[in-house]
Amino acid sequence: MPFRNVSKVEKPIIVSGIVVLLFSFAILIISVFQFGIGVSNCVTNMTPFQKGEVIAHDSGHYEVHYVAKMWSFEPNEVHVPPGAQVDIYLTSTDVTHGFEIPGTDVNLMAVPGVVNYARVKFPDIGTRSVICHEYCGTGHHDMAAKIFVEYEWMMGQNVKPQAENIPRGMKLMQDKGCIACHTVTGAPGTGPTLKGLFGKTEKLNDGSSVVVDDAYIRESILEPQAKIVQGYGAIMPKFQVSPEDLNEIVNTIKTLK
């Protein structure tokens, strides 16, 4: 008799303990087999880290999922703007690889079954290399990737991210602060985007409309209150721009298709 030495008071406590335990097991088994609720897998089996991917949360925050494998990195080319916070998540699908971005603090190991993380900001435009710095077989010395640090308007335009390749008009618009309110990517801003602006028909707040041409852009810079596009405030200050600079700016806006 197993309960021979157990007092009358303890007996119901032990029995109810066993009942609760069995009940919990039953719930566990029912949830696994009846409802398919399982214990989570290894992180590398989850969708976000299975393939190389660049996620632009916004112009100031990028997320890159790198997958290292013999003997390359996926994605092999990444484009991010200068100054953006770049969150790097790294894993490997075969052996252990290294992941180093020379000139930065980023120095990670790509380990199968593990996701490693680093955060980096690239202050200047240019091309950065990612290299594997852990011996991983015959292709090790060729295992590398590129990060192009470039302004958003450069992306997809085949402009090499080098200071001398920035058109003077774009530099002027950056220096004068135009870009702070008027994006060059089509993204919404305080003012209308400059992308695709030239040649477009804009509705004005007085109900009329205007086709964006040379004269309209010049007027909008020198006399911003003359015509206000519907949905925007009359808040742009006047700008003092020399005729040469104005030409450069107008010509650059024309290229932002």
Kindly state the smallest distance separating residue 143's Cβ from ligand CUA, in Å.
4
Q: Which two tokens stand for residue 198?
A: 């030239």
Kindly state the smallest distance separating residue 109's Cβ from ligand CUA, in Å.
10
Q: Which is nearer to ligand CUA, 52 or 191 (CB)?
A: 52
Kindly state the smallest distance separating residue 138's Cβ from ligand CUA, in Å.
10
Closest CA to 73 of 51, 56, 55: 51
Phi then psi for residue 96, to 5 deg, are -75, 130
Q: Residue 199 region, left (φ>0) first, then alpha (ψ -120 to 50), else beta?
A: left
Q: Which is nearer to ligand CUA, 79 or 97 (CB)?
A: 97
Q: Which is nearer to ligand CUA, 96 or 255 (CB)?
A: 96
Kindly state the smallest distance separating residue 131's Cβ from ligand CUA, in Å.
8
Q: Where on the chain is the footprint of ligand CUA (CB under 6 A)? A: 71, 97-98, 132, 134-136, 140, 143
Counting DSSP H helices and E strands in the chain, the numbers are 5, 12
Closest CA to 64 of 17, 110, 133, 102: 110
Q: Which is nearer to ligand CUA, 143 or 197 (CB)?
A: 143
**Diameter of the chain by CA atoms?**
105
What residues pair up with 63 in beta bridges, in sequence order? 55, 87
Kindly state the smallest distance separating residue 214's Cβ from ligand CUA, in Å.
54
Q: Are 233 and 224 in contact (CB under 8 A)?
A: no
Q: Which is nearer to ligand CUA, 17 or 137 (CB)?
A: 137
Closest CA to 143 of 93, 100, 104, 86: 100
